[in-house]
Amino acid sequence: MASMATFFTQTSFPSHSLSKTFDTHFATAPKVNSCVSFRARRQVGVRVSSGLIEPDGGKLVELVVKDSERDLKKGEALSLPRIKLSRIDLQCVHVLSEGWATPLKGFMKEAEFLQTLHFNSLRLDDGSIVNMSVPIVLAIDDEQKHRIGDNKRVALFDSKGDPVAILNDIEIYKHPKEERIARTWGTTAPGLPYVEQTITNAGNWLIGGDLEVIEPIKYNDGLDHFRLSPAELRSEFTRRNADAVFAFQLRNPVHNGHALLMTDTRRRLLEMGYKNPVLLLHPLGGYTKADDVPLDWRMKQHEKVLEDGVLDPETTVVSIFPSPMHYAGPTEVQWHAKARINAGANFYIVGRDPAGMSHPVEKRDLYDADHGKKVLSMAPGLERLNILPFRVAAYDKTQGKMAFFDPSRPQDFLFISGTKMRTLARNKESPPDGFMCPGGWKVLVEYYDSLVPSSNGKVPEAVPA
């Protein structure tokens, strides 16, 4: 059985232009208020390199210094004013360093921050627009600002006291917390997980500048071999001779409904004329709220999905997306889509209520379940990306398996919510045959079993990924 872990070789293919007409079921939405039906955006003559979509701005930004400069930069970092990074700050450095946020070259300065907050996009020097919906910023407090003084460079250190990066040509500006929260989440209600974790008690200043990252970010958690950079992913897609890449973002275990959606997407792409569409199964690996299944358990479950043959390892690349999760709904889903462009994906599967969550105070969803896919169809800077809406899958009792919902016979379908799935797993009960592969379900049961109170009566704390 092929393991999910893949050792990559750098394969060079001559660049060429590929002209292909996309005609799926999404199109650029008309500039009217009615957005009830969608078709895939129609694109003709998109210029690509080695069969892959170009990154935003035309060139992937990579901010890790050359090996030959590493010792020099470490020495420089030791002589500069220091900022200690939180775990989520370090994840942001990781995201920036590998080019997921291309064309950003570091933490946002005020002009970039304001464009992101107010326009969900950045205007480049040539006048073109790229999507950027979520601020990637670094907060500091009054004492740190005073300590930096007139310096134009600062060093970023991790929690162990090791130098991580140098921030050059810095700009310090006010941190408008309320405005940032309101515009990113559409509410200032208390209880937003990312807000409480990173913004509420953060400093009153933001510091932006160009990053020089001293060495690749590693977590030494046994999963680093899954954390492929955009450049590494592009090399792997090229090695596999992919002529289309379709990305699926998730932060939950994979059940057979997900697998049905992914395999059906590949079938549809083959019918459109593509010869070798490749799936990027791309679980989010940064911060998640504590009641989500932790990353290490999710990766075990994903591996069983491939081992059990639910997905084909030959046409699937499994990798970890290092971004922290904001739970910012239609705003954040743009970031998830934009980042996958930089990794080479030209198709993006969007589901119900992407990046959404329950309202932190009221008993309702925070976002309209359909707004994510509608926003993606209209978002500035995402015109090159083909959006594939999530078709609703449920358990078909007549077939004994997950199938696409047929509204003509609703009585035949059973919807197993995430809450129901977790309840079954906690109680060590089995779902209907065909809901999830046996190996994957066993992993999920083992995870919830690990949360059973120990002999001292305490439940092990769930650590966010």
CATH number of the CATH domain containing 284: 3.40.50.620
Whole-number pLDDT of residue 418: 79
Residue 88: what residue type? I
Is residue 256 scored above 50 in pLDDT?
yes
> Any idea how long the chain is?
465
CB atoms within 10 A of CB 50: 18
What is the CA 413 to chain-centroid distance, rounded? 31
pLDDT, position 356: 93
Query: What gap in Å lies between CA 177 and CA 135, rounded to an integer?
Result: 12
Residue 411 in any domain: the answer is yes
Question: How far is CA 409 from its chain centroid?
Answer: 35
pLDDT greater at residue 286 or residue 40: 286
Which pLDDT score, from 0 to 100, does residue 36 have?
Answer: 26
Number of domains in the chain: 2
Distance, in Å, from the CA atom of 155 to the CA atom of 161, rounded to the nearest integer, reads 11
Ramachandran quadrant class, 60 (left: phi over 0; alpha: psi -120 to 50; beta: rest): beta
Average pLDDT over residues 165-189: 98
* 207 plus 227 within the same structural domain: no
Is the model's pLDDT at 267 over the cut of 70? yes
Question: Do 79 and 152 sit in the same domain of this protein?
Answer: yes
Are 397 and 252 members of one domain? yes
Q: Are residues 402 and 280 in the same domain?
A: yes
346: in domain? no
Residue 365 φ then ψ, to 5°: -70, 145
Task: Tell me how far apart the alpha carbons of residues 200 and 353 are, in angstroms, rounded to a whole number.
Answer: 25
- State both tokens at 173: 């500006």
User: Percentage of residues in the chain with pLDDT exceeding 70?
Assistant: 86
Which segments of 397-434 are extended strands (E)? 401-404, 413-414
Instruction: Classify residue 76: in a domain, yes or no.
Output: yes
Which residue in 10, 57, 54, 13 sits closest to 232, CA to CA? 10
Backbone angles phi, psi at 262, to 5 degrees: -70, -45
Q: Cα dihedral angle (114, 118, 122, 127), rounded to 10 degrees?
A: -110
Q: Say yes or no: 206 and 229 in one domain.
A: no
Mean pLDDT of the 231-243 span: 97
Q: What is the DSSP string of 52-108?
A: EEPPGGGS----BPPGGGHHHHHHHHHTS-EEEPPHHHHHHHHHHHHTTTTT--SS-
Token duo for residue 222:
């046994």
Answer whether residue 4 shows pLDDT above 60. no
Predicted local distance difference test score (pLDDT) of residue 455: 46
Q: What is the mean pLDDT of residues 374-389?
A: 94
In a domain, residue 280? The reply is yes
Please report which confidence band the pLDDT of residue 453 belongs to, taking 50, 70 and 90 as the band edges: low
- DSSP letters of 410-437? GGGEE---HHHHHHHHHTTPPPPTTSS-
- Pairing between strand 316-318 and 277-283? parallel
Judgement on whether residues 256 and 137 belong to the same structural domain of the protein: no
Measured over the CA atoms of residue 191, residue 196, residue 200 and residue 201, the dihedral's sign is positive
The mean pLDDT of 167-184, rounded to a whole number, is 98
* Cβ atoms of residues 60 and 102 within 8 Å: yes
Lowest mean pLDDT among 43-52, 328-337, 343-352, 442-451: 43-52
Report if residue 281 sits inside a domain.
yes
Same domain? 292 vs 184: no
Do residues 299 and 237 both lie within one domain? yes
Which domain CATH number covers 155?
3.10.400.10
**pLDDT tens-digit map of 415-452:** 998 778 988 999 999 999 999 999 999 999 999 999 87
**pLDDT, the chain, mean:** 88
pLDDT tier at 47 (50, 70, 90 boundaries)?
very low
Two tokens, residue 372: 């994510």
pLDDT at 452: 74
pLDDT digits (tens, 9 = 90+) for 211-235: 999 999 999 999 999 999 999 999 9
Mean pLDDT within 364-378: 95
Rounded to whole angstroms, the Cα distance separating 270 from 242 reads 12
Taking Cα atoms as reference points, which of 23, 58, 29 lies closest to residue 43? 23
Q: Does residue 368 lie within any of the structural domains?
A: no
pLDDT the model gives residue 389? 83
Domain range for 92: 65-211
Say if residue 255's pLDDT is above 60. Answer: yes
Assign 3-state DSSP to the chain and report helix, strand, coil percentages, each to 5.
30, 15, 50
Kindly tell me if the per-residue pLDDT of 284 is higher than 50. Answer: yes
What pLDDT digit, counting tens, does each position of 271-281 carry?
999 999 999 99
Evaluate whether 386 touches 337 at the Cβ level (below 8 Å).
no
Query: Helical H runs in 153-294?
Result: 177-185, 193-198, 230-239, 256-271
Looking at the structure, do residues 201 and 267 belong to the same domain, yes or no? no
Domain stops at, among 211, 243, 274 = 211
Phi-psi region of 355 (alpha: psi -120 to 50; beta: other; left: phi over 0): left
Distance separating alpha carbons of residues 211 and 208, to the nearest angstrom: 9
User: What pLDDT is stored for residue 43 in this prediction?
Assistant: 39
Give the residue, 418 or 100, on which the prediction is more confident.
100
**DSSP structural state of residue 141:** -
Residue 41 has pLDDT above 50, yes or no: no
Mean pLDDT value across residues 175-201 = 98
Q: Determine the residue type at 305.
A: V
144 and 282 assigned to the same domain: no
Look at residue 239 and tell me whether its pLDDT is greater than 80: yes
Residue-level pLDDT at 278: 98
Cα(315)–Cα(245) distance, integer angstroms: 10
**Mean pLDDT on 127-151:** 97
Is residue 378 a part of any domain in this protein?
Answer: no
- 82 has which bridge partners? 155
In a domain, 105, yes or no: yes
Give the tens place of pLDDT for each residue, 105-125. 999 999 999 999 999 999 999
Is 166 in the same domain as 238? no
pLDDT of 26 over the 70 cut: no
Identify the burial level of 348 via C-beta atoms within 10 angstroms of its C-beta, where 0-12 means exposed, 13-18 middle and 19 or more buried. buried
